[in-house]
Structure 1
Amino acid sequence: MHRRRWAILGVLMLSLLIVVLDNSILNVAIKTISTPAPVGLGASQGQIEWAINAYTLVFAGLLFTSGLVGDRLGRKKVLLGGIALFGIGSALAAESGSPGQLIAYRAVMALGAAFVMPATLAVLMNVFEREEQPKAIGIWAGGVGLAIAIGPITGGALLDHFWWGSVFFINVPIVILALILMIWLVPDSRDPRPGRLDPIGVVLSVVGLVLLVYGIIKGGELADFTDAKVLATIIAGLVVLAGFVVFEKRSDHPSLDVSYFKNKVFSAAMSAIALVFFALMGVTFFSVFYTQSVRGYSPLQSGLMLLPLAAAQMIFAPRARLVVERFGNRATTTAGLVLIAATLAAFATFEADTPIWLLEVVFFLMGTGMAHIMTPTSVVIMQALPREKAGSASALSNTFRQVGGALGIAVLGSVLATTYRNGIEGKLGMLPPALRGTAAESIEATLGVAGRLGPRGKALVTPANDAFLHAMHVTALCGVGVALLGAVVTALFLPGRTPADQAGEKEGELVAVGD
Structure 2
Amino acid sequence: MTTTSEPRPADNDKLDGAVLRVAAVVVLGAVMAILDTTVVNVALQALTLEFQTSFDTIQWTATGYMLALATVIPVTGWACDRFGTKRLYMLAIAFFLVGSALAGAAWNIESLIVFRVVQGLGGGMLMPAGMTILTKTAGPHRVGRVMAVLGVPMLLGPIGGPILGGWLVDSVSWRWIFYINVPIGVLAILLAWRLLPKDQPRPAEKFDFPGMLLLSPGLAALIYGVANIPHHGGVGATSVWLPGLAGIAGIAAFIVRSLKIDNALIDLSLFRNRTFSIAMGTITLFMIAFMGSMLILPTYFVLVRGESALQAGLLLAPQGFGAMLTMPLAGKLVDRIGAGKVVLPGLALIIPSVAVFTQVGADTSYPLLLAALFVMGLGMGMTMMPISTAALQTLTQRKVARASSAMNIVQQTAGAIGAALVSIILAGLLAGKFGVPTSQGQLAATAAVLNPATHDAAAVSAGDAFASTFTWTLILVAVCLVPALFLPKKPVLPATEDDEGDTVPPAVMVH
- TM exceeds 0.5? yes
Corresponding residue to 1:25 among 25, 34, 39: 39
Contact 2:428 2:441 in 1 (8 A): no
Corresponding residue to 2:306 among 296, 306, 311: 296
1:474 aligned residue: 468
Contact 1:86 1:111 in 2 (8 A): yes
1:373 aligned residue: 383
Counterpart residue type for residue 490 of structure 2: R
Instruction: Work out whether 1:355 is the aligned partner of 2:365.
Output: yes
Whole-angstrom CA distance in 1 between matches of 2:254 and 2:492:
38
Whole-angstrom CA distance in 1 between matches of 2:206 and 2:160:
38
- Cα gap change, 1:322 to 1:187, in 2 (>3 Å): closer
Corresponding residue to 1:176 among 156, 161, 186: 186
- Cα gap change, 1:268 to 1:53, in 2 (>3 Å): farther
Counterpart residue type for residue 397 of structure 1: M
Contact 1:191 1:388 in 2 (8 A): no
2:504 aligned residue: none
1:487 aligned residue: 481
- Cα gap change, 1:104 to 1:359, in 2 (>3 Å): farther
Deviations 1:386-425 (A, max 9, x none): 1133221221222211111111111111221222222212
- Indicate the SS of the match to 1:188: coil
Contact 2:278 2:487 in 1 (8 A): yes
1:309 aligned residue: 319
Corresponding residue to 1:12 among 26, 34, 46: 26
Contact 2:44 2:59 in 1 (8 A): no
2:93 aligned residue: 83
Deviations 1:415-463 (A, max 9, x none): 212222222126xxxxxxxxxx69x624346535987xxxxx5445445
2:347 aligned residue: 337
Whole-angstrom CA distance in 2 between matches of 1:126 and 1:167:
33
Identify unmatched segments of 5+ residues in structure 2: 1-11, 494-506
Contact 1:31 1:289 in 2 (8 A): no
Instruction: Work out whether 1:398 is the aligned partner of 2:408.
Output: yes
Whole-angstrom CA distance in 2 between matches of 1:195 and 1:309:
44
- Cα gap change, 1:66 to 1:327, in 2 (>3 Å): closer
Deviations 1:103-130 (A, max 9, x none): 3222111101122211211111222234
Structure 1 residue 322: Cα displacement:
4.0
Moved more, 339-348 or 442-451: 442-451
Corresponding residue to 2:195 among 179, 182, 185: 185
Contact 1:65 1:202 in 2 (8 A): yes
Instruction: Work out whether 1:104 is the aligned partner of 2:114.
Output: yes
Counterpart residue type for residue 487 of structure 2: L
1:286 aligned residue: 296
1:412 aligned residue: 422
Identify unmatched segments of 5+ residues in structure 1: 427-436, 452-456, 508-515
Whole-angstrom CA distance in 1 between matches of 2:350 and 2:65:
25
Whole-angstrom CA distance in 2 between matches of 1:346 and 1:463:
22
- Indicate the SS of the match to 1:241: helix
Whole-angstrom CA distance in 2 between matches of 1:270 and 1:48:
32
Whole-angstrom CA distance in 2 between matches of 1:202 and 1:449:
47
Whole-angstrom CA distance in 2 between matches of 1:104 and 1:140:
29
Corresponding residue to 1:225 among 217, 235, 248: 235
Contact 1:447 1:461 in 2 (8 A): no
- Cα gap change, 1:461 to 1:444, in 2 (>3 Å): farther
Contact 2:27 2:152 in 1 (8 A): no
- Which of the pair is proportionally richer in helix? 1
- Cα gap change, 1:464 to 1:94, in 2 (>3 Å): farther
Counterpart residue type for residue 262 of structure 1: R
Moved more, 99-108 or 284-293: 99-108
Structure 1 residue 478: Cα displacement:
1.7
Whole-angstrom CA distance in 2 between matches of 1:309 and 1:286:
14
Structure 1 residue 195: Cα displacement:
4.3
Q: How many correspondences in the alignment?
A: 485
Whole-angstrom CA distance in 1 between matches of 2:232 and 2:363:
30
Instruction: Work out whether 1:152 is the aligned partner of 2:162.
Output: yes
Deviations 1:60-103 (A, max 9, x none): 33212112212211111111111011011112222334444333
Instruction: Work out whether 1:66 is the aligned partner of 2:94.
Output: no
Counterpart residue type for residue 497 of structure 1: K
The two structures, once aligned, show a CA RMSD in angstroms of 2.8
Whole-angstrom CA distance in 2 between matches of 1:467 and 1:217:
25
1:198 aligned residue: 208
1:385 aligned residue: 395
Contact 2:304 2:362 in 1 (8 A): yes
Structure 1 residue 484: Cα displacement:
1.6
Whole-angstrom CA distance in 2 between matches of 1:357 and 1:97:
43
Contact 2:223 2:413 in 1 (8 A): no
- State TM-score, norm by structure 2: 0.87
Counterpart residue type for residue 29 of structure 1: A
Counterpart residue type for residue 489 of structure 1: P
1:52 aligned residue: 62
Contact 1:275 1:482 in 2 (8 A): yes
1:441 aligned residue: 440
Contact 2:304 2:449 in 1 (8 A): no
1:454 aligned residue: none
Whole-angstrom CA distance in 1 between matches of 2:190 and 2:319:
31
Structure 1 residue 228: Cα displacement:
5.5
Deviations 1:108-155 (A, max 9, x none): 111011222112111112222344332222111233223332211211
- Cα gap change, 1:396 to 1:459, in 2 (>3 Å): same
Contact 1:308 1:360 in 2 (8 A): yes
Whole-angstrom CA distance in 2 between matches of 1:191 and 1:222:
47
Deviations 1:352-384 (A, max 9, x none): 111212221222122211111123222222223
- Cα gap change, 1:47 to 1:480, in 2 (>3 Å): farther
1:432 aligned residue: none
Structure 1 residue 470: Cα displacement:
3.0
Contact 1:159 1:300 in 2 (8 A): no
2:283 aligned residue: 273
- Indicate the SS of the match to 1:494: coil
